[in-house]
Amino acid sequence: MAEQLDTFTAAERQPIAQLREIMQVRKRGEEPLAFVHTYGCQQNVADSEKIKGMLAQMGFSFTETPEDADFILFNTCAVREHAEDRVFGNVGALKNIKRHHPSVIIALCGCMMEQEHVAQRIHDSYPFVNLLFGTHQIRNFPQLLFTCITDSRRVFARGGEEQDRKISEDLPTRRDGKFKAWLTVMYGCDNFCSYCIVPYVRGRERSRAPEAVLAEFEELVQQGYKDITLLGQNVNSYGKKPDRGTNFAQLLRRLDEVPGDYRIRFMTSHPKDCTHELLDVMAGGKHIAHHLHLPFQSGNDRILKEMNRHYDRAAYLELIHYAKHVMPDLSLTSDVIVGFPGETYEEFRDTVSLIEEVGFTSLFTFIYSPREGTRAAKMPDPVPAEEKSRWFQELCAAQEQIAAKRCACAVGTVQRVLVEEQNPKTGLLTGRTGGNIIVDFSGDASLCGTFQMVQITAARNWILTGELCG
């Protein structure tokens, strides 16, 4: 079957030029302002950069103050209840802004909006929201906004089955960072972990063509980006759907061959698809950071099975063992869920013992949150919230000690650090090691955006202090 690249067509671009004119008239020649707020993961951050790219082409500048904006957009996350509550709270607060500034256009997009019950609630209870669109509709954003403004009506657009096969290429992008960039290599997720809403709101897995990824990557390196993170819900299944004839390890090797002074990272890796081939490519790479984010979720085999994760504790530890063997300086990070339905204290303790065995640099820990429509949401969940909260504290305390120990081990080493910014309060420069650990040191602001060798002199909790090597 012929390759369907789905480039951004002239017809899809046309409303951008029209909106530019409309906004100029509306603002009587003054620059229109947009406020874009992003919730959730890097995937959403990358999507927001595309939407901001389109807004910039429509003539918008950007503001951090919603009260000043002519267009307000929240790009939302559905992964946990807390994330959703925050969005509803903040959307509610926009009502006041609308009252004082009735011409402001209020828009919501992202993962939450792909859920029927959320779209319905926004429709019924938040009448001041003008535009709502889902994760599959980003390329249609100019047309949707155009309709919303020219027809003066509310526009709601959510994904359809056929959208699941689309891969949008060539959308304009306005990147937030000067040295760090996100590069999406695959969209969607087919794993259906029993607790997770992502496959329902992001659709089926689909990988970009390796040529398209390579072209964007080369452009980023040429533009001077130094820390490029390849993104996907499960980058390790890159190239399977549609069959790209290239797996993730091979893609990574190809990108690593691009000449230049930069670092590559990737996230997220699913352990069930993480191969020795990938770890070997990391170990042998010229530019690949020795940092692996490999979420294990639980250290207990029964829970892992209930979560539908398709690996067990032994398989996870085998991978870690091999990864440390080929990269002795590897920095490991992970995601963990505490209090999955039916988890007992003994089963939770297997998670604590796993983190002690592995020694993660840092951990993203979450208390299980039921998501409507997922399998786990229907499972009996007898452990009270206060009990889960105690387990959560126990896990965090254990990890704090591990992180402090790991950081202390770095004292005396020399690290290659990408200098990111000067702290306005302390005047110190701040950067990150290949392992993604923060390092503070004295130096000139002109070093921002360069790699420097830094001798680590002290560690406090999970932040390192050092001195520039002369």
SS3 content of the chain, % helix, strand, coil (to 5): 40, 20, 35
Please give the Cα distance from 51 to 172 (Å, whole number). 8
Half-sphere exposure at residue 422, Cβ-oriented, CA atoms within 13 angstroms: 9
Q: Which residue is closest to ligand F3S by CB?
A: 40
The reply on whether position 381 binds ligand SAH by CB under 6 A is no
The reply on whether position 43 binds ligand F3S by CB under 6 A is yes
The encoded tokens of residue 106 equal 């209020």
Distances (CA, A) of 371 to 73, 98, 152, 305, 405: 24, 31, 34, 18, 36
Which among 77-85, 166-174, 271-279, 404-412 is the span making contact with ligand F3S, rule CB under 6 A? 77-85
The reply on whether position 202 binds ligand F3S by CB under 6 A is yes
Site for ligand SF4 in 183-242 (CB under 6 A): 189, 191-193, 196, 198-199, 233-234
Residue appearing with tokens 């029993």 = 194
Report what 331 binds from ligand F3S, ligand SAH, ligand SF4, none; CB cut-off 5-8 Å by kind. Answer: none
The reply on whether position 79 binds ligand F3S by CB under 6 A is yes
Closest to ligand SF4 by CB, 298 vs 399, is: 298
CB of 78 vs ligand F3S, minimal distance in Å = 4
Phi, psi (deg, nearest 5) at residue 244: -100, 0
For residue 41, say whether it is annotated as part of any ligand binding site: yes
Cβ burial of 405 (10 Å; 0-12, 13-18, 19+) is exposed
262 Cβ contact partners less than 8 Å away, ≥ 6 residues apart = 220, 221, 225, 226, 227, 228, 287
The reply on whether position 40 binds ligand F3S by CB under 6 A is yes
Report what 111 binds from ligand F3S, ligand SAH, ligand SF4, none; CB cut-off 5-8 Å by kind. Answer: ligand F3S
CB of 140 vs ligand SAH, minimal distance in Å = 25
Which among 8-16, 73-81, 163-171, 336-344 is the span making contact with ligand F3S, rule CB under 6 A? 73-81
The reply on whether position 194 binds ligand SAH by CB under 6 A is no
Distances (CA, A) of 246 to 90, 209, 210, 234: 43, 9, 7, 15
Closest to ligand F3S by CB, 79 vs 148, is: 79
Please give the Cα distance from 259 to 50 (Å, whole number). 26
The reply on whether position 44 binds ligand F3S by CB under 6 A is yes
Cβ(226)–Cβ(179) below 8 Å: yes
DSSP string for 237-280: GTTTTTT-S--HHHHHHHHHTS-SS-EEEEE---GGG--HHHHH
Task: Count the Cβ atoms, other than its own, within 10 Å of residue 78.
Answer: 26
Closest to ligand SAH by CB, 78 vs 417, is: 78
The reply on whether position 208 binds ligand F3S by CB under 6 A is no
How big is the site for ligand F3S, counted in residues (CB under 6 A)?
Answer: 11
Binding site for ligand SAH (CB under 6 A): 79-80, 195-196, 198, 233-234, 268, 270, 295, 297, 335, 337, 366, 368-369, 371
Residues marked as binding for [4Fe-4S] cluster?
A: 41, 77, 111, 189, 193, 196
Binding site for ligand SF4 (CB under 6 A): 189, 191-193, 196, 198-199, 233-234, 270
